[in-house]
Structure 1
């Protein structure tokens, strides 16, 4: 039940952000100039880099660090730092890329729903954020809890090993989604949406 509430509240925040950007963009008199567009595009790319960095950091800490070391305190520290990657890199990167990408779409010739590739990018980013705020959050919390000091050795705990494996798989899924969105952004496939 708690996960459903988190999922719905995250979705509500995302939809409110997109709606606010659309309303603000509608009432501004003209589109972005070339310099403004390039500045927003640089900001968008920087947020995507931060997003990628957080996911790579999580993957390195959850996969390499916790599978090669046996010291319980170091395993716990790796999961704490992995969670910090989520808080300070993945979440700001995801929301920053959503906001800057939405603003670029609304304030340029692309539009938010004129092209299939912009629709795919927005929906893909929303899906990645929802995946991260529900399932990934559970795996982050569980790996930290099961590796905490005072518990049994995490490498002998099947629940810890399962959650660590799911965190690694979830991080690779998130990286795949983000890589796909970057490819869509570069090649802009599928063309313009047909209006009826």
Structure 2
């Protein structure tokens, strides 16, 4: 029989999971709001500091909490009666979490670095550059998509839609 968590350990792991998702969600909200606010910067220094704050939020409130959410979610699935691929709602959460993390690794860090370097080099006039505008819009939309995906995952957690995944009939 597979390892199962006792109630105390399960509650501790659930607490870690929930606190991590709250940090991740809060980080995504901050990124979204700062991304919108960036357009209102009054000078190059303010623009640079907004982007520096976004970079710090990405490094502290998004990357590590996302990793903890992923790991704790997998452990909760495997070490409880839910299983990792027994229910559609768990698979949906696993796929969404994985996609968000992969998207972040592939794009968000590079986008933020580009914006930060451009603001450092061009100052306030960076806001007028087409590449800066499209990259900042991409970052804002990605933050909105993160928020939407986490909202969907939260709803999926509580409503547990689609039920159990049915095993296919074995051919003999």
- Report the TM-score, using the length of structure 2 for normalisation: 0.92
1:70 deviation in Å? 2.4
Which runs of structure 2 are paired with 1:130-145 in the superposition (5 Å)?
130-145=102-117
Aligned to 2:130: 158
Query: Cα 1:89–1:152, aligned 2, differ >3 Å: closer, same or farther?
Result: closer
Unaligned stretches of 5+ residues in structure 1: 1-24
User: Which protein, 1 or 2, shows the higher relative CO under an 8 Å CA cutoff with sep ≥ 6?
Assistant: 2
Structure 2 stretches of 5 or more lacking a match?
Answer: none
Contact 1:73 1:149 in 2 (8 A): no
- Runs of 4+ aligned residues of structure 1 deviating over 2 Å after TM superposition are 149-152
Aligned to 1:90: 62
Q: 1:138 offset after TM fit, Å?
A: 2.4
Q: Does 1:125 align with 2:90?
A: no
Other-structure match for 2:17: 44
Q: Which moved more, 1:165-174 or 1:138-147?
A: 138-147
Answering whether residue 45 of structure 2 is matched by residue 81 of structure 1, we say no
Please, what TM-score do these two structures have when normalized by structure 1? 0.81
Equivalent pairs, count: 168
User: Could you tell me which residue of structure 2 aligns to residue 19 of structure 1?
Assistant: none
Stretch deviating more after TM superposition (148-157 or 114-123):
148-157
**What's the counterpart of residue 175 of structure 1?**
147
User: 1:34 maps to which residue?
Assistant: 7
Task: Answer whether contact 1:76 1:149 (CA < 8 A) is retained.
Answer: no
8 Å contact 2:118–2:132 — kept in the other structure? yes
Partner of 1:54: 27
Please give the residue correspondences for 1:108-119 in structure 2 after superposition, counting only pairs within 5 Å. Answer: 108-119=80-91
How far apart in 2 are the matches of 1:89 and 1:155? 26
